[in-house]
C-alpha cells in the first residue's frame, strides 16, 4: 500500500533568508504541506489508488469530480515539493543558465520578456494558485501558465519547468499583501535555474513525474 511521505526541504529553514523567512518555511512546509500529505493518506485506503505513485494519483483523479478532494491533496503535495526545489539559497535568481537560457530567448524573445510574462501570470492569478513555466511534451515549446488552487501541469499533460506559489501562505508573513514584491524576489534572488534546466531536459531532479 502506498504511503505518501512529506519530503524534507532541500535546504535549512533559514537558508532562504532574508528573502523568505524561516518562520514562513516552518508554517508553509511543516504545517500546510504536511497537512496535504496527512489528508491524502487518510483518503487513499479503499480508493483503489493505494498502490499508485503520487503522479498517477493526480492523473487518475484530475477529471473525476467525485475524487476532487483527493486530487486537491495529491496535487498540492506534488506542487509544493516542486516549488521547494525551484528555489536555491546559492546564486539563485536572475538570468537563466544552460540550455534553458537559449530556449527562453527563442520562445519568448528575451529573458526580460519571459520575466514580464511570468510576473504578470503570478500577480494576476486571482486568489490562490500557481504561476508556471511549462514545456510541451512534443517539441518542447515553452509557455507561461497559471493555475488556480491545487491545479497542476500534470493534469494537463504538460512538463513543469518552474513554479512560483502565490497562495498567501507562501508570502504573507514576509511580504503581507505585496505579492508583486514577493514575485520579484523569487525571480531575482531565488530561482534555481539548475533545477529548471534538469526538469526541462527530463532528468530526475527530485520530483517524480
Detail the residues annotated as belonging to a binding site for Mn(2+): 28, 80, 165, 169
Report the C-alpha gap between 190 and 17 in whole angstroms.
10
Report the C-alpha gap between 150 and 75 in whole angstroms.
6
Residue closest to 32 by CA, chosen among 176, 168, 191: 168
DSSP state of 9: P
Residue closest to 70 by CA, chosen among 60, 79, 80: 60
DSSP state of 159: E
As beta bridge partners, residue 135 has: 142, 159
The annotated binding site is made up of: 28, 80, 165, 169
Amino acid at each position: 500500500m502506498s504511503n505518501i511521505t512529506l519530503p524534507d526541504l532541500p535546504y535549512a529553514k533559514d537558508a532562504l533568508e532574508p528573502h523568505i523567512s524561516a518562520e514562513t518555511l516552518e508554517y508553509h512546509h511543516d504545517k500546510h504541506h504536511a497537512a496535504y500529505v496527512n489528508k491524502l493518506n487518510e483518503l487513499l485506503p479503499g480508493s483503489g489508488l493505494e498502490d499508485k505513485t503520487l503522479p498517477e494519483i493526480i492523473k487518475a483523479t484530475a477529471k473525476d469530480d467525485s475524487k476532487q478532494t483527493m486530487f486537491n491533496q495529491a496535487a498540492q503535495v506534488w506542487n509544493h515539493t516542486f516549488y521547494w526545489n525551484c528555489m536555491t539559497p546559492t546564486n539563485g535568481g536572475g538570468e537563466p543558465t544552460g540550455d534553458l537560457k537559449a530556449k527562453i530567448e527563442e520562445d519568448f524573445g528575451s529573458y526580460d520578456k519571459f520575466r514580464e510574462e511570468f510576473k504578470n501570470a503570478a500577480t494576476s492569478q486571482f486568489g490562490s494558485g500557481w504561476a508556471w513555466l511549462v514545456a510541451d511534451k512534443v517539441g518542447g515549446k515553452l509557455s507561461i501558465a497559471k493555475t488556480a488552487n491545487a491545479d497542476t501541469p500534470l493534469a494537463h499533460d504538460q512538463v513543469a519547468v518552474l513554479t512560483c506559489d502565490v497562495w498567501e501562505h507562501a508570502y504573507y508573513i514576509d511580504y503581507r499583501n505585496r505579492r508583486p514584491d514577493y514575485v520579484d524576489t523569487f525571480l531575482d534572488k531565488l530561482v534555481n535555474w539548475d533545477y529548471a534546466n534538469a526538469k526541462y531536459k527530463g532528468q530526475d531532479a527530485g520530483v517524480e513525474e
